[in-house]
Structure 1
Amino acid sequence: MQKVPVMKEGEFILTESDAILKYLATKYDIVPEHWYPRQPERRAKVDEYTAWHHTHTRPHASKVFILEVLLPAASGSAVDEVRLVRALSELDETLDRVETMFLKRQPFLCGDDLTIADLLAVCELMQPMASGRDVLQQRPSLQSWRSRVMAATGENFTTAHRIVYAVRDRYKAKL
């Protein structure tokens, strides 16, 4: 499928981070249950977010990153401000829904515990940081959520976003 990430285990090949995370959590049963709960209702809430994620959070956050970082870097042209404003508006609508439909008044997207839903969401929402854009800047509840995810994942958060931070630093140096 020419996709990253990809996992190969013997002859078994799996793409898509969502599918890989669920597969690993289910098959090996070595991670704490909170990541992908066994209890059906709690697991269904994680699955609900991850299904929604593919048509909302992922494409809208990625579009901002592509328009503001990747396309200008690849083509040498300026950012298409009209398309970027539209993409930011779409992302803003998505963030409204993340807050009202998923986060509500709980610490994490699917309840009281950190799950793979939080990992998928935070990774997408960190992408625009590559241009120095914090899409959560005007959203205190989502900023608090991101802080809880960062605290819960510790140094792994920084490691996972090392490339985003490096691109951000190069982007800032060009300004």
Structure 2
Amino acid sequence: MTLKLYLDFLSQPSRALYIFFKINKVPFELSQVALRKGEHLSEEFKTNLNRFQKVPFIHDGDFRLTESVAIIRYVSKVHNIDNNWYPKETKAQARVDEYLEWQHNNTRAFCALYFQRKWLFPLLTGRQTSPETMQKYEDNMLACLDQIENIWLADTPYLCGDRISVADIFAACEIEQPRVAGFDPIKGRPVLSAWMNRVRSEASPFYEEAHAVLNKLAEKGGKAKL
């Protein structure tokens, strides 16, 4: 039975999994969930698809799994993924895991909060976040981007070494998200810009496929509508 991947392309980890699956030729059936329509909020969705009512998640026969990092680890073992994307060697794998754990309270948290408060919540509620609060969200995000440049990319072309890994895909997908809210994450950041270009190139054409919707929204400079 083919593995089913449930996602929404406006979800950062959804895009990361899609890119990872396609690059590594993981056979899967794509099932899109329209979060903007609230498809994930029904009782039927909760009962039959995902009890946490979020994306992404997979169904692999009778086995159901949520949480994108857990899915990466599972798929890497089941499908014998190429070593550089999720290394088998203990220390190299630990280095990738280090970023995947770090990102939850850093890259993902700060980029997502900025995107939500600047663009998504005002769109859904009609209420703007105060300038003072937005400045705090932006400051946190900028500090996180500083750490990406000055710590994670200080000595290597990729986050976890000399070769691209799934850590780079997850990070890039998170850093792309604020573009929808009119924020350019690479402006004035040559190190980050060069790294993003490397990731996009290494993951092409699947990176572009995964970001097609986001790019269209970002082109509208923060005035996009779902």
Q: TM-score, normalised by structure 2?
A: 0.72
Partner of 2:186: 136
1:165 partner amino acid? N
2:122 to 54, 68, 72: 72
Partner of 2:149: 99
Tell me how far 1:171 sits from its aligned partner: 5.1
Gaps (5+ residues) in structure 2?
1-51
Residues 1:6 and 2:47 aligned together: no
1:65 partner amino acid? F
Gaps (5+ residues) in structure 1?
none
Tell me how far 1:3 sits from its aligned partner: 1.5
Tell me how far 1:39 sits from its aligned partner: 1.0
1:1-175 matched pairs, under 5 angstroms: 1-29=52-80, 31-170=81-220
Q: Aligned partners of 2:164 and 2:210: how far apart in 1?
A: 16
Tell me how far 1:163 sits from its aligned partner: 2.0
Residues 56 and 94, structure 1, Cα contact 8 Å, conserved in 2: yes
Q: When you count helix as a share of all residues, which structure comes out higher?
A: 1
Partner of 2:15: none
Residues 128 and 134, structure 1, Cα contact 8 Å, conserved in 2: yes
SS in 2 for 1:36: coil
SS in 1 for 2:58: strand
* Cα 1:55–1:172 shift into 2, 3 Å: closer
Where has structure 1 moved over 4 Å in runs of 4 or more?
A: 170-174
1:155 partner amino acid? P
Tell me how far 1:34 sits from its aligned partner: 0.5
Q: Any idea what the Cα deviations from partners look like across 1:112-140, whole Å, max 9, x if unmatched? A: 11111001100100000112311221211
* Cα 1:172–1:71 shift into 2, 3 Å: closer
Q: Aligned partners of 1:138 and 1:83: how far apart in 2?
A: 23
Q: Any idea what the Cα deviations from partners look like across 1:39-74, whole Å, max 9, x if unmatched? A: 111111000000001111101000111011101110
SS in 2 for 1:34: coil
SS in 1 for 2:77: helix
Q: TM-score, normalised by structure 1?
A: 0.92
1:8 partner amino acid? H
Q: How many residues of Structure 1 are paired with residues of Structure 2 in the alignment?
A: 173
Stretch deviating more after TM superposition (93-102 or 163-172): 163-172
Q: Aligned partners of 1:121 and 1:9: how far apart in 2?
A: 26
Tell me how far 1:89 sits from its aligned partner: 0.5
Stretch deviating more after TM superposition (145-154 or 101-110): 101-110
Percent of aligned pairs sharing the same letter: 32
Stretch deviating more after TM superposition (139-148 or 94-103): 94-103
SS in 1 for 2:84: helix
Residues 18 and 120, structure 1, Cα contact 8 Å, conserved in 2: no
SS in 2 for 1:8: strand
